[in-house]
Amino acid sequence: MTDAADIAEITTGLTNAIGANSGLNSTLKFDFEGKGVVFIDGKADPNQVSNEDKPADCTITVSLDTFKKMVARELDGTAAFMQGKLKVAGDMSVAMKLGPILAKAAPQ
C-alpha cells in the first residue's frame, strides 16, 4: 500500500472510531514523519477528522509502520514512546486518552 493509501485508511479508521464525541475535548495531530498528517478536532461538535496540517494541542510524530503496529496491538504506545519510536509535543494528557480510540480504530 502507498503512504497516501495508508493515511487515507488511518483517517477513515479514526473517523469511525471517534464518532461524534471522542472524549478528547482537545485537538490532536498525528504527523507521519513528513508523509502526511491526520488531525482530530475533539473540540468540534461533532468531532472531525481531516488531513489538515494545522496547530494542535498535542502532536504525535510517529512512522506509519509504528502507528500500524500500535493499532494492531503489536506495540504498546507507552513502549513506543520509551523506545523513541513515538514523540509527543504539547499536552501529554491528550496523548494519554488515545488508548481506547486506537483500540476502536483497529481493523476488524
Taking only the tens place, the pLDDT of each residue in 15-28 is 998 989 988 999 99
- pLDDT of 98: 84
Low-confidence ranges of the chain (pLDDT < 70): 107-108
CA distances from 33 to 7, 21, 44 (A): 12, 27, 26
Whole-prediction pTM value? 0.91
* Domain tally, the chain: 1
Give the domain CATH number at 28.
Answer: 3.30.1050.10
What is the residue type of 20?
A
Comparing C-alpha atoms, which of 34, 59, 49 is closest to residue 104? 49
65 Cβ neighbours under 8 A, 6+ residues apart = none
Distance CA 24, CA 63 (A): 22
- pLDDT of 53: 97
Residue 106 lies in a domain: no
Comparing C-alpha atoms, which of 6, 54, 2 is closest to residue 27? 54
